[in-house]
Structure 1
Amino acid sequence: MSDNQVTTAHPAAAGLTITELVQLLASETGAVAAADSIDDSTTFEDIGVDSLGLLGVITAIERGRGVNLPEESQQLERVTEFVSMVNDNLRKVG
């Protein structure tokens, strides 16, 4: 997954990158992970994020991007699946 994504004036239209998610995870949960260490098999548990921490990240994304993420976003275990789901939802509102 590439961190090179086009940004636009509308925050929801800009895709979420792994780097941005790592920054959100650090600010919301204190979890520290290097973006380049996250691959398709990396889970939130692997990087020290529990369900409550993920809920905080989801809330931050919803507020920051003006989007409502589906309930199942809280059930995703793999980081890249979560980023893909967020970006799918951002495209729908963008």
Structure 2
Amino acid sequence: MSDRITVEELAELMKKAAGITVAPEELQQRQESGFDAFGLDSLGLLGIVGELENRYGTPMPPDAEKSKSPRQFLELVNSALLAGA
């Protein structure tokens, strides 16, 4: 387990927490697209945030669950993980 969430891990979390399958390559290419373009709603994003909090044992930024795109989400979460490391 690293101190940064990768696009591959985000794709895995989307499948595990929200049941949405997206290829990591597609997430990488479409990082600016809204989560809604992938079929992920706010409840699914909340599930991902909860999974990360359990995995890392640390609270995620409050704005993480309001992220609009994969890029925004990864930047927020990775900043919090680096600050807590």
Amino acid in structure 1 at the alignment position of 2:20? A
Deviation at 1:23, TM superposition (A): 0.3
User: Whose Rg is larger?
Assistant: 1
Task: State the partner residue of 2:73.
Answer: 82
Deviation at 1:89, TM superposition (A): 0.2
C-alpha RMSD of matched pairs (Å): 1.2
Asked if 1:23 is matched to 2:12, the reply is: yes
Normalised by the size of structure 1, how large is the TM-score? 0.81
Which stretch shows the higher mean deviation, 80-89 or 35-44?
A: 35-44
Normalised by the size of structure 2, how large is the TM-score? 0.89
Task: State the partner residue of 1:50.
Answer: 41
Structure 2 gaps, min length 5: none
Structure 1 gaps, min length 5: 1-10
Q: Whose helix fraction is larger, Structure 1's or Structure 2's? A: 2
Deviation at 1:69, TM superposition (A): 1.2
How many residues matched? 83
4+ long deviations beyond 2 Å = none
